[in-house]
Amino acid sequence: MRRLPPLAAIRAFEAAARQENFTKAADELGMTQAAVSYQVKSLEQAVGAPLFLRERGRVRLTEAGAQLALQVTAAFETLDEAFDRLRIDEEATLGVSTLTSLALRWLAPRLGGFQLARPALAVRLDVGDRLTDFARDDVDVAVRAGRGEWPGLHSRFLMRAPFAPMASPGFVAAHGPLDTPRAILASRLLSPDDVWWKRWAAEAGFGGMPPPPVPGVRYDSQPIEGSAAIAGQGIAMLNPVFWHDELRDGRLVQLGETLLGKLGYWVVCPEHKRNQPKVKAFRDWIIAEAEADPLAELIRVPPE
């Protein structure tokens, strides 16, 4: 257990010893001269020895004060260097948390552009579907799915989360025609118990999700599900934004309408970090990327 005098008294002594003047020390610390004198006296009482000789118009360190000043100043310099290193590390690294599907299918291919624009800033990407705890996790900014309302967090709308059934051309040729919601829902669905299938079925006019004709495989992530669809294993419910290249190249075919749910992706951070340069730079960059997306007219409409 450390038996240190109050830190305020040590700070006042260190400044007064360095300046050899209580008034200048007070100006440096934003205190009154009387407050500095009081703190020094309290430190002298704590150590049991005078640290300054009070002379007319100035103060001078005693031998004990001079010895103590050397060690205290060195200790403060060590602390200052430690906090400087911490500040440099904090400013040089950006911790980003994002959902697996968004990271793999949309963000990762674009992130190199942000690194080129900010070469001195290292980005650490934390990928997963667990909700980020900013108080516990080493994360500065996150992309979350929801309605944009999280107490204590600043949020900016990024894009909507559209969804539509997709399959490979080979699957459509072998199992078609798949030109109606009923035909689609009666076919081989990937992850048929996924909530997105239920929502799509409801929008298509089905009060409840009909039972799948054959047991389906449940995948843990949209990237795996999309890969299975490309391989001809069935129909996947996918985000057209994430699979734009595959749709354009003909590796996937969209079946039915693209639907917009009530949820969206939002860029969020703690309120006290909203104006940090590195957080603001990332937020402005990722929103600009969404505005430049081929489906921007669809996805940049905020949910009601």
Q: What is the pLDDT of residues 264-301, one digit of tens each?
A: 999 999 998 889 999 999 999 999 999 999 999 999 99
High-pLDDT (> 70) share of the chain, %: 92
pLDDT at 86 > cutoff 70: no
pLDDT at 83 > cutoff 70: no
Query: Are 131 and 189 in the same domain?
Result: yes
Tally the C-alpha atoms within 13 A of residue 189's C-alpha that lie toward its C-beta: 27
Query: Are 76 and 163 in the same domain?
Result: no
Distance between CA atoms of 107 and 213, rounded to whole angstroms?
Answer: 36
- The residue from 60, 85, 110 where one domain ends is 85
Query: Are 72 and 104 in the same domain?
Result: no
Query: Are 61 and 109 in the same domain?
Result: no
Nearest to 298 by CA among 184, 197, 204, 163: 163
What is the structure's pLDDT at 114? 93
Query: Are 140 and 185 in the same domain?
Result: yes
Distance of alpha carbon 107 from the chain centroid: 13
What is the structure's pLDDT at 84? 62
Distance between CA atoms of 255 and 156, rounded to whole angstroms?
Answer: 32
Residues in the chain: 304
9-23 residue pLDDT tens: 889 998 888 888 888
CA angle 152, 157, 163 (to 5 degrees): 120
Once rounded to an integer, what is the mean pLDDT over residues 63-77?
A: 87
Query: Are 159 and 225 in the same domain?
Result: yes
Which pLDDT band holds residue 57 (cuts at 50, 70, 90)?
A: low
DSSP assignment letter at 77: H
List, in sequence order, every residue forming a beta bridge with 113; answer none if it has no partner. none
Distance between CA atoms of 223 and 243, rounded to whole angstroms?
Answer: 9
Once rounded to an integer, what is the mean pLDDT over residues 176-181?
A: 89
Distance between CA atoms of 167 and 172, rounded to whole angstroms?
Answer: 7
Query: Are 108 and 78 in the same domain?
Result: no
pLDDT at 171 > cutoff 90: yes
- Report the chain's mean pLDDT, rounded to a whole number: 88
Query: Are 157 and 239 in the same domain?
Result: yes
CATH number for position 164: 3.40.190.290
- Give me the number of domains the chain comprises: 2
User: Which range of residues forms the domain containing residue 202?
Assistant: 99-304
CATH number for position 48: 1.10.10.10
Helix ranges (H only) for 48-141 are 63-92, 100-102, 108-117
Nearest to 256 by CA among 160, 187, 158, 174: 187
Once rounded to an integer, what is the mean pLDDT over residues 21-41?
A: 90
Instruction: Look at residue 106 and tell me if it is in a domain.
Output: yes
Verify cis geometry, omega within 30 degrees of 0, for the bond prior to 177.
yes
Distance between CA atoms of 22 and 6, rounded to whole angstroms?
Answer: 18
| Global confidence as pTM | 0.69
Distance between CA atoms of 263 and 286, rounded to whole angstroms?
Answer: 18
Strands (DSSP E) found in 68-205: 93-98, 122-127, 141-146, 153-167
Once rounded to an integer, what is the mean pLDDT over residues 67-80?
A: 84
- The residue from 57, 85, 113 where one domain ends is 85
Query: Are 163 and 192 in the same domain?
Result: yes
Tokens 């409409």, residue located: 301
Once rounded to an integer, what is the mean pLDDT over residues 128-157?
A: 89
Instruction: Look at residue 1 and tell me if it is in a domain.
Output: no
Query: Are 198 and 295 in the same domain?
Result: yes
- Asked if residues 300 and 291 have their Cβ atoms less than 8 Å apart, the reply is yes
88-141 residue pLDDT tens: 555 678 999 999 999 999 999 999 999 898 888 889 999 988 888 887 888 999
- Asked if residues 236 and 190 have their Cβ atoms less than 8 Å apart, the reply is yes
Instruction: Look at residue 90 and tell me if it is in a domain.
Output: no
Query: Are 48 and 121 in the same domain?
Result: no
pLDDT at 217 > cutoff 80: no
Distance between CA atoms of 13 and 61, rounded to whole angstroms?
Answer: 10
Report the relative pairing of strands 253-254 and 58-61 from DSSP bridges. unpaired
Phi, psi of 161 (to 5 degrees): -120, 80
- Asked if residues 190 and 219 have their Cβ atoms less than 8 Å apart, the reply is yes
Which pLDDT band holds residue 5 (cuts at 50, 70, 90)?
A: confident
Instruction: Look at residue 93 and tell me if it is in a domain.
Output: no
Distance between CA atoms of 267 and 141, rounded to whole angstroms?
Answer: 7
239-274 residue pLDDT tens: 999 999 999 999 999 998 888 878 899 999 999 888
What is the structure's pLDDT at 233? 94
